[in-house]
A and B are shown apart, each in its own frame.
Chain A
Amino acid sequence: MTFAMAIGTEYYLALSALLFTIGAGGLLVRRNPLIMFMCIELMLNAANLAFVSFGKEMNDLGGQLSVLFVLVVAAAEVVIGLAIVVAVMRRRPKASIDEVSVLRG
């Protein structure tokens, strides 16, 4: 218990920032759609972690509540995103994300 108390909120926030940066970096440098997708998930969960940490720190249920919303949005996003990815992969199995630019203006 005492050990758990020793880990302060700042550690969680640092971890959250780290995860978010990894996600953002991965999103920018990788070209495989699936990996990019995972990076987005990573960023979302980094945000979740920050929410929970602040919620605990400020003794506010709002933080926990926001996580639930993020989860719902993420789930919906995964459904649509994966469907698109699958559709793209079916047509061009080895496609990199840069090749999927038919909808440019």
Chain B
Amino acid sequence: MNNLVWLIPTFPLLGFTLLLLFGRRLGEPNAGWLATTMVTGSFLSTLCVFLGMAGKTSEERVYEITLFEWIPSGELSVGLGFLADPLSITMALFITGVSALIHMYAIGYMHGDPNFSKFFIYLNLFVFSMLMLVLGDNLLITFLGWEGVGACSYFLISFWHEDPANASAGKKAFVTNRVGDWGFMVAMFLLFFNIGSLKYSDIFSSVIQLDALTQTTATAVVVMLFIGAAGKSAQFPLYLWLPDAMAGPTPVSALIHAATMVTSGVYLLTRMNPVLAEAAGWSSDLIWIIGLFTALFAAAAAVAQNDIKKVLAYSTVSQLGFMFVAVGSGLYVAAIFHMITHAFFKALLFLGAGSVIHGMHEEQDMRKYGALKKAMPITAGTFIIGWLAIAGIPPFSGFWSKDEVLLAAWNENKIAWVLLLIAAIMTAFYMSRLVFMTFFGDKRWAEDEKENHEEDEITPPPENEKKNILNPHESPALMWFPLVALAGLAATAGILNLPFSHNTKYLEKWLEPVLFGNEVHVLASTSTKWLLAVIAIIGATIGVLSASYVYLKKRINPAQIELPILQDAWKFDRSVSNFMGGPGRKIFEVVTWFDETVIDGAVNGAGKLTQNLGTRLRATQTGLIRTYALGMVIGAIAILAYFVSRMGF
């Protein structure tokens, strides 16, 4: 069934094409259903490939198929090919699965939007690009997908581009990603220069068997790849775009900026693990240190945000930091495991937040929420599962994967473990804060609405509209069904990789063929692991309890915790903007001057030269036919004379 792999990206591509041609005519909701069907088809074909692969022995699970040669150009020959192996199929499975659910949710969420079908065009194009990214059998195809998801992310962040803030958020994401893309491209150039191929299998075989890369080159490649990964996966200092990316519709935040696209940096580094193994030790250290710093930095910022989506955005940045800690410590399985569980619970949390925003009539400020549990029981119930999962409460999925990441940190450095544990406690704290402020406590919206109500008595609005104002309502089934499905996954995904014995580590065994023995195994004894797990549970509980102490029982004034500097995310974004707007601008002015005088000068100079030469040569074109004829005759005689003289008379 492996040869079905080409079907996986074909479905969303077909959906994209059909919607592009007939989307407007299909209208709402048919365009959405078409897109959902296509992604579901993609999910089913992934499932087929997965089942076929699962039936084989682990050596036979890597399968390559080249559809055609895309760029045949001398040494560089790039085929449009797919690589189906346990890693790419795992990625494709959760990408298509989560995408299908989010597509369905979006039909409800985007209800009434004037650009309903356009939204699904972008969504399907995104899924196609994301699948190309993970299924490509060489770096260039991956890069194609990489750029595709970046472009779709840009389109979708600025989807409501009538508001200039949304449009500039999209631009910010695009420009920041460009920095990362530069790293990716340099890494590709280096690999091609040293190995002569961009195909993963060629790169791996020459790195592993022929030792084709020197340590210095491998280190340079890894650092460049990490810059690329940091751009796409929002690591410090390139994370800046992700909090702003929340300007897009909520399904986009769930799909692109939480579950799938932002994890592609982790995927890329995991895929390139043989090169990471060749590189000098400090490059791996760099990865986990940046990851750890990002995890702490963003978690602290999340504590003080009031916009429900901003909390989740900083939380995503922080969780991605966790994954990079695992990658840098060489525990790739832990990274992928956390990526999968994170995709489930973070997509769930975002969709839940979207449902709340929907129910509260586009209000995103948590200070105006409260006690929504009764009004939106399904959203609240599923959200609570997502909350427990991300907070790391057993037996929900987040506990198992976060525990693995913490173990990775422990294995690498004890201080790193302590810091990461603090980040985990903060995660539990800010998520509990979010849940308590939204679903529990006092009705803060009711007071607001009462004022409205008093005014309403003077001029009563139509009956149904009045109801809308007063009652935050549960979302339609189209929107809560994906929530329930994701809640089920978020609760149970821990069974993918249970740490109790070697036999229950399904994911680790499954991913073995793609890791080439580069997976680091934690040496700690079983009792130490138990102890660490217990400490992690205690930490999570402390986070939850202290949040309830502050936000439910109100023993401490929240203002003491929500420091202004945290609200401003350590003022980092602001200082970057200030620098770029002030002193940084001078640098650009120098570059502009160079561009305008030297480069434009050279180009324009070449044009002027040709023009002058032409003006002079014009004189020879008299338009007199007999002059031309004479020229030809003289030429013919000259040639004749040359041949005659060669004959040696």
Interface residues of A (CB under 8 A from B): 24, 27-28, 31, 36, 97-98, 100-105
Contact = CB atoms under 8 A, between A and B. Distances in A.
B629 A28 contact: yes
B633 A24 contact: yes
A94 B617 CA distance: 32
Contacts of A97: 625-626
Given A101-B625, A105-B619, 19 more contacts: A24-B633, A27-B629, A27-B633, A28-B626, A28-B630, A31-B626, A36-B625, A97-B625, A97-B626, A98-B624, A98-B625, A100-B625, A101-B622, A101-B624, A102-B623, A104-B621, A105-B620, A105-B621, A105-B623
8 contacts: A27-B629, A28-B630, A36-B625, A97-B625, A100-B623, A100-B625, A101-B624, A105-B623
Contact of B622 (A28, A31, A36, A104): A104
A103 B626 contact: no
B618 interface: yes
A101 B630 contact: no
Contacts of B633: 24, 27-28
Contacts of A27: 626, 629, 633
A57 B623 CA distance: 42
A103 B630 contact: no
A62 B323 CA distance: 77
Interface in B217-255: none
A105 B625 contact: no
Interface string B621-639: 1111110011001000000
Contacts of B624: 98, 101, 104
Contacts of A102: 623
Contacts of A104: 621-624
A89 to B, nearest CB: 15
A97 B625 CA distance: 7
B647 to A, nearest CB: 16
A93 B619 CA distance: 29
Contacts of B629: 27-28
A97 B617 CA distance: 23
Contacts of B623: 100-105
B256 to A, nearest CB: 59
B618 A105 contact: yes
A98 B621 contact: no
A24 B622 CA distance: 20
Interface residues of B, number: 13
Nearest to A40: B629
Contacts of A36: 625
A92 B633 CA distance: 28
A91 B415 CA distance: 97
A103 B628 CA distance: 13
Contacts of A24: 633
A36 B630 CA distance: 13
A97 B629 CA distance: 12
A96 B641 CA distance: 32
A97 to B, nearest CB: 5
B341 to A, nearest CB: 75
Contacts of A28: 626, 629-630, 633
Nearest to A103: B623
B627 to A, nearest CB: 9
Contacts of B618: 105
A33 B457 CA distance: 100
A24 B619 CA distance: 25
A24 to B, nearest CB: 6
Contacts of B619: 105
A105 B620 CA distance: 8
Nearest to B617: A105
B587 to A, nearest CB: 48
A56 to B, nearest CB: 22
A85 to B, nearest CB: 11
Contacts of B625: 36, 97-98, 100-101
B329 to A, nearest CB: 74
List the 4 shortest-distance A-B pairs measured between CB atoms, nearest first: A104-B623, A101-B623, A105-B621, A105-B618
Nearest to B622: A104
A27 B624 CA distance: 13
B270 to A, nearest CB: 65
B593 to A, nearest CB: 39
B620 A98 contact: no
A36 B365 CA distance: 91
Q: Which of B619, B620, B626 is most buried by chain A, counting CB atoms within 10 A of its CB?
A: B626
A103 B624 CA distance: 9
A31 B153 CA distance: 72
Nearest to B618: A105
Contacts of A31: 626
A103 B618 CA distance: 11
Nearest to A29: B626
Contacts of B621: 104-105
A55 to B, nearest CB: 20
A27 to B, nearest CB: 5
Nearest to B614: A105
B471 to A, nearest CB: 83
Q: Which of B618, B619, B629 is most buried by chain A, counting CB atoms within 10 A of its CB?
A: B629
A86 B530 CA distance: 103
Contacts of B622: 101, 104-105
A52 B457 CA distance: 111
A29 to B, nearest CB: 8
Nearest to B625: A97
Contacts of B626: 27-28, 31, 97-98
Interface string B595-619: 0000000000000000000000111
A57 B633 CA distance: 27
A104 B627 CA distance: 12
A26 B375 CA distance: 104
Nearest to B630: A28
Contacts of A98: 624-626
A105 B627 CA distance: 14
A103 B620 CA distance: 12
B633 to A, nearest CB: 6
Q: Which of A31, A102, A104 is most buried by chain B, counting CB atoms within 10 A of its CB?
A: A104
A1 to B, nearest CB: 35
A41 to B, nearest CB: 14
Contacts of B617: 105
A67 to B, nearest CB: 20
A36 B619 CA distance: 25
A102 B623 CA distance: 7
B241 to A, nearest CB: 56
Contacts of A103: 623
B243 to A, nearest CB: 63
Nearest to B629: A27
Contacts of A101: 622-625
A26 B626 CA distance: 11
A96 B630 CA distance: 17
